[in-house]
Structure 1
Amino acid sequence: MPYKIPESVLVVIHTEDLQVLLIERADKPGFWQSVTGSKDSPDEILSETARREVQEETGIIASAQPGALLDWNLSNIYEIYPVWRHRYAPGITQNTEHVFSLQVPRDIEVTLAPREHLQYLWLPYREAADRCFSSSNAEAILQLPRFVGAAGS
């Protein structure tokens, strides 16, 4: 299996009234997060990574929501958790995460990838931030009103 590329996306999926979709990791029950995933190749465009990961992890087709995928032009560099470092080339300890958001209708169908996630839930954005295990994910969710200009801030 090839090593993961240490460049990824974080996609905060939300409704117009700032309900945020969280998904629970299958490999770490109790770890709730937004959609995340690494680039498949060094040449993959970040917005394509975001669209692909959203579809793989939730079944939501981002391109069916015209103009709803928003690149925040915000990146976080963080230490890769030791439990997941074996997925990266030897010596790689940091990942660069690019933040996106995707606004969807509240009644959109969510179909999880069962090998990756156990369940999902919708929460008001502040509660969603509190539930995330990742500090960069929680911070992105808290910045949601600023980036999407939505009500509920």
Structure 2
Amino acid sequence: MQLYKIPESVLVVIYTPALDVLLLERADKQGFWQSVTGSKDTLEENLLVTASREVHEETGIDTDKFTLSDWQLVNVYEIYPVWRHRYAPGVTKNTEHVFGLRVSRDVPITLAPREHLQYEWLPWRDAADRCFSASNAEAILQLPKLT
């Protein structure tokens, strides 16, 4: 069992053909909205597997029924101090790989209650404005160019 989180993660922007974006409110930080995110479970875990697993765990969406794409965007950022205790001592940066998942607007969403309080579909610009994470907002702003 992994003692600390691996500082390599995925960010999955879930969106509709009309470019509405699914945002989730964090359970551990009310008012913090984001796309699906999560770290690799093992060093060997493939990033596409990580993205698919995290989407299913956080929303209940089966990525095999839709198009999950590696956007070939990578962000390296400072881990927020409030979450650093989850990582090995001295780890302060995380490498995030960005994916997109195009779904139908009526896809059922089942939140993981320990992770998220609620969800909302927003037009892409509004979704970018709502995100607390700069890298998440920037990924959403890339949506029209990447789809």
Corresponding residue number in structure 2 for 1:53: 54
**Which position in structure 1 is the counterpart of 2:68?**
69
Q: RMSD of the alignment, in Å?
A: 0.6
Deviations for 1:40-89, whole angstroms, at most 9, x for unmatched residues? 00000000000000000000010121xx1010111000000000000000
SS in 1 for 2:45: coil
3-state SS of paired residue (1:120): strand
Query: Runs of at least 4 residues of structure 1 off by over 2 A?
Result: none
Residue 137 of structure 1 corresponds to: 136
Residue 11 of structure 1 aligns to which amino acid in structure 2? V
- 2:139 alignment partner AA: A
TM-score normalised to the size of structure 2? 0.98
SS at match of 1:122: strand
Aligned length: 146
2:89 aligned partner, one-letter code: P
Code of the aligned partner of 1:26: A
Paired AA for residue 15 in structure 2: H
Identity of aligned residues (%): 72
Match of 1:37 in 2: 38
Letter in 1 for 2:8: E
The amino acid that maps onto 2:46 is I
Which whole-Å CA distance do the structure 1 matches of 2:3 and 2:74 have between them? 24
2-side partners of 1:62 and 1:132: how far apart?
A: 23
1:2 Cα offset (Å): 1.0
Structure 1 unmatched ranges of 5 or more: 149-153
Query: Equivalences for 1:90-109 in 2 at 5 Å?
Result: 90-109=89-108
The one-letter amino acid paired with 1:86 is: H
1:21 aligns with 2:22: yes
2:10 maps to: 9
| TM-score between both structures, scaled by the size of structure 1 | 0.94
State the AA in 1 paired with 2:121: W
1:5 to partner: Cα distance: 0.1
> Matches of 1:134 and 1:100 in 2, distance apart?
16
Q: Which segments of 5 or more consecutive residues in structure 2 lack a partner in the other structure?
A: none
In 2: Cα distance, 1:74 partner to 1:15 partner: 20
Instruction: State the distance in 1 between where 2:93 and 2:64 align.
Output: 30
